[in-house]
């Protein structure tokens, strides 16, 4: 799995239907950007099951670990067994079916860096290009104001209390990736090794 295939999924009808079914709550006014920024900045660690719906109709599942700022780990369940780690400003994609070294590139070049930043400020000029109520959710489209060519991220939240449920990453080529989050466990201590790319490279080389 290379960088392009990792970012090559779209929000299929299945994903939208599953999300709407799981979130059967009354409609609400859009959540203010200040509240969404507060929520993201308060999110130190989190882990959850996730579902990824691919453009070809296949579905990938796995577990995600988040440690803000700057760290995330996607562990894909069988049959994929792929792994994506972001740490120390770098994203590494480990393809379980390839003998090649992990593909690496700067975290700053993916819109996911917006929510992994040290200080998330969705009120920053030119960062949010869309902010609206979308049925039972609030949807925000954000980009790097200094580098809009890097792509964008749509963040989908529910209210009472504010909770991040889903995101859609649109990369610099226009390809989309949708991740639907399960119930998040927050605040637990996560091992640094989960986000250590060099550790994972060494571990795999010693197999």
Domain boundaries along the sequence of the chain: 3-205
pLDDT score of 14 = 37
pLDDT score of 203 = 87
Strand, helix or coil at 35?
Answer: helix
pLDDT score of 6 = 53
CA distance 109 to 106: 6
pLDDT score of 108 = 95
Q: Which helix (H) or strand (E) holds 92?
A: strand 90-94
pLDDT score of 22 = 44
Per-residue pLDDT of the chain (207 residues; tens, 9 = 90+): 555 555 443 333 334 444 444 444 455 689 999 999 999 999 999 999 999 877 677 899 999 999 999 999 999 999 888 999 999 999 999 998 888 889 999 999 999 999 999 999 999 999 999 999 998 999 999 999 999 999 999 999 999 999 999 999 988 888 888 999 999 999 999 999 999 999 999 888 876
Enter the tokens of residue 178: 């949708």
pLDDT score of 194 = 97
Sign, CA dihedral 111-117-120-121, equals negative
pLDDT score of 28 = 66
CB–CB of 91/107 below 8 Å?
A: yes
- pTM for this one? 0.84
- Ramachandran bin of 160, using left for φ above 0, alpha for ψ from -120 to 50, beta for the remaining angles: left
CA distance 24 to 132: 19
CATH fold for the domain made of 3-205: outer membrane lipoprotein receptor (LolB), chain A (2.50.20)
């Amino acid at each position: 799995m290379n960088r392009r295939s990792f970012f090559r999924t779209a929000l299929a009808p299945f994903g939208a239907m599953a999300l709407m079914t799981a979130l059967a709550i009354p409609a609400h006014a859009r959540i203010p950007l200040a509240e969404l920024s507060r929520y993201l900045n308060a999110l130190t660690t989190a882990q959850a099951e996730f579902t990824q719906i691919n453009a070809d109709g296949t579905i990938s599942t796995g577990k995600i670990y988040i440690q803000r700022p700057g760290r995330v780990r996607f562990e894909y369940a069988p049959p994929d067994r792929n792994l994506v780690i972001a740490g120390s400003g770098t994203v590494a994609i480990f393809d379980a079916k390839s003998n090649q070294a992990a593909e690496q590139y700067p975290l700053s070049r993916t819109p996911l860096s917006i929510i992994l930043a040290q200080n998330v400020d969705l009120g920053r000029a030119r960062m949010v290009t869309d902010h609206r109520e979308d049925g039972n959710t609030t949807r925000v489209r954000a980009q790097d104001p200094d580098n809009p060519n890097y792509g964008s991220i749509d963040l989908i939240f529910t209210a009472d209390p504010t909770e991040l449920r889903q995101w859609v990453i649109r990369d610099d080529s226009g390809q989309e990736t949708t991740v639907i989050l399960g119930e998040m466990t927050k605040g637990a201590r996560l091992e640094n090794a989960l986000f250590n790319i060099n550790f994972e490279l060494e571990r795999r080389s010693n197999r």
